[in-house]
Amino acid sequence: MNRILILGGGVGGTLVANLLVKRLRRPIDDGDVTLTVVDSKGSHVYQPGFMYIAMGGERAERLARPERSLLDRRVRLVVGDVVRIAPESHVVELADGQWLGYDHLVLATGSRIVPEAIEHFAQEAHHFYSAEAALKLRHALDAFTGGRIVVGIAGMPYKCPPAPLEVVFLIEAELRERGLRDRSELHFCSPIGRAFTIESVSDMATPILAQKGIELHTFFNVETIDPERKVVQSLEGEELPYDLLVLVPPHKGAQVLIDAGLAPAPGGWLPTDRHTLQVGGRPDVFALGDATDLPLSKAGSTAHFEAPVVAERIAARVLGREPDARAGSYEGKVVCFFEVGDGKGTLLQFDYDHPPNPPKPNRFWHLGKVVFNKTYWHTVPKGRV
């Protein structure tokens, strides 16, 4: 008997489960392999859609589906919170007291936002990293009649690296459409020495910021928010007044991983081999998606391209063979769309050895993102693309 246990029903966990069914159908049907996904809610949420709740046109109810509906019928789904992982004894404990043993463990536990790490964040700053927060930002934008908008990043790493730039571009376009642009100032704060971590993308985005009259502040690491004076202050000693503040909240990995000694505090990101996706040198534990410490985008796309590698490596272990040299090695592939406003977008495609060379923003890639978002449910989680 081979017991495969997958923690997390997001893009990575769901896709690994469905790909494993394709590779191990016979032993699963014969009862030699069990495949279990544990998810805290039992609901699969398409998080890239949150930004569109804030920027118009999207609704929270369209962004979630039952996890059960996305999994092959051969996969057992357990809904519950994981409270303990004991890697030495190969068991996982759930909040309801249930114990699940495993022979192969996949950690697809994602990342979580911790806005409480910055005082006054909840009262003063808007964000778009949950459906509720994105809707609140939408209402704030609807009520906005002019003033200073500051968009920034209050901690790295964070989910979907292009998102804050996309949001400032989309807000700028919206203000122009609403006739509020000449009554508004827009500021974009980056924690590093340029607009974006990847140099070629920064080189593409910086002239667009300038052309749209959005002031770029580099090396701005958010330290404090002063609600009385309505200013956000950086570790570097700069401060920016705001009328509307939009900040990416700090992110961390799952606490249960830190508690289990699998990921170091305070970040909680799993030490993951960049090619095999094994965790901490353990042959039976794999990670993918946001949960890893890999120097890549925390994005569904990363999990999407990591999942076939994890599936191949686990299938090889189950079948007692070596993993395929090509299919069993992750080369850092990520592909994501990047909105620049005014109905235009571009595409970022890269891997460990090849930085992105984004095409000039155009309508095609904006429409590509729209189509991808709408067809996601039928494609990515089911392993069809």
Partner 1 sequence: MLETPATPAITRTIDARGSFCPGPLMELIRAIRESQVGDVIAVWSSDRGSKIDIPRWIEKAGHRLVALETRDGYDEIVVEKLR
Is 25 in a helix, a strand, or coil?
A: helix
Answer for which of 60, 64, 83, 192 binds partner 1 (CB under 8 A) is 192
- By beta-carbon proximity to partner 1, the closer residue of 60 and 156 is 156
| DSSP code at position 198 | S
Rounded to 5°, the CA angle 8-10-12 comes to 85
Burial class (CB in 10 A: 0-12, 13-18, 19+), 307: buried
Burial class (CB in 10 A: 0-12, 13-18, 19+), 204: buried
Q: Does the footprint of partner 1 cover residue 233 (CB under 8 A)?
A: no
What is the C-alpha separation between 292 and 77, in angstroms, rounded?
23
Q: Establish whether the linkage from the previous residue to 271 is cis, with ω within 30° of 0.
A: no
The two three-digit tokens of residue 272, written as one number = 């993951």
- Hey, what amino acid is at 137? L
Q: Establish whether the linkage from the previous residue to 157 is cis, with ω within 30° of 0.
A: yes
What is the C-alpha separation between 295 and 157, in angstroms, rounded?
9
Shortest reach from residue 109's CB to partner 1, in Å: 21
Q: Does the footprint of partner 1 cover residue 249 (CB under 8 A)?
A: no
- By beta-carbon proximity to partner 1, the closer residue of 72 and 215 is 215
What is the C-alpha separation between 43 and 25, in angstroms, rounded?
25
What is the C-alpha separation between 190 and 103, in angstroms, rounded?
43
Burial class (CB in 10 A: 0-12, 13-18, 19+), 181: middle
Answer for which of 40, 221, 233, 373 binds partner 1 (CB under 8 A) is 221
| DSSP code at position 326 | T
Q: Does the footprint of partner 1 cover residue 219 (CB under 8 A)?
A: yes
Window contacting partner 1 (CB under 8 A); options: 218-226, 243-251, 315-323, 366-374: 218-226
- By beta-carbon proximity to partner 1, the closer residue of 86 and 235 is 235
Q: Does the footprint of partner 1 cover residue 197 (CB under 8 A)?
A: yes
Window contacting partner 1 (CB under 8 A); options: 93-101, 175-183, 217-225, 305-313: 217-225
Window contacting partner 1 (CB under 8 A); options: 41-49, 55-63, 193-201, 276-284: 193-201
Contact 305, 299 (CB under 8 A): no
- By beta-carbon proximity to partner 1, the closer residue of 148 and 217 is 217
Q: Does the footprint of partner 1 cover residue 237 (CB under 8 A)?
A: yes
Shortest reach from residue 234's CB to partner 1, in Å: 9
Q: Does the footprint of partner 1 cover residue 255 (CB under 8 A)?
A: no
The two three-digit tokens of residue 216, written as one number = 């770029």
- By beta-carbon proximity to partner 1, the closer residue of 244 and 279 is 279
- By beta-carbon proximity to partner 1, the closer residue of 196 and 338 is 196
Q: Does the footprint of partner 1 cover residue 235 (CB under 8 A)?
A: yes
Q: Does the footprint of partner 1 cover residue 224 (CB under 8 A)?
A: no
What's the distance, Cα to Cα, between the start and end of the chain in Å?
30
Closest CA to 216 of 152, 163, 155: 152
Shortest reach from residue 197's CB to partner 1, in Å: 6
The pattern of x and - marking residues 143 through 182 that bind partner 1 according to CB under 8 A reads: -------------x--------------------------
Q: Which string of b and e fits 341-361 if b means at least 16 CB within 10 Å?
A: bbebbbbbebeeeeebebeeb
Q: Does the footprint of partner 1 cover residue 281 (CB under 8 A)?
A: no
The pattern of x and - marking residues 27 through 56 that bind partner 1 according to CB under 8 A reads: ------------------------------
- By beta-carbon proximity to partner 1, the closer residue of 3 and 274 is 274
Answer for which of 32, 142, 203, 236 binds partner 1 (CB under 8 A) is 236
Q: What are the residues binding partner 1 (CB under 8 A)?
A: 156, 191-193, 197, 199, 218-219, 221, 235-237, 295
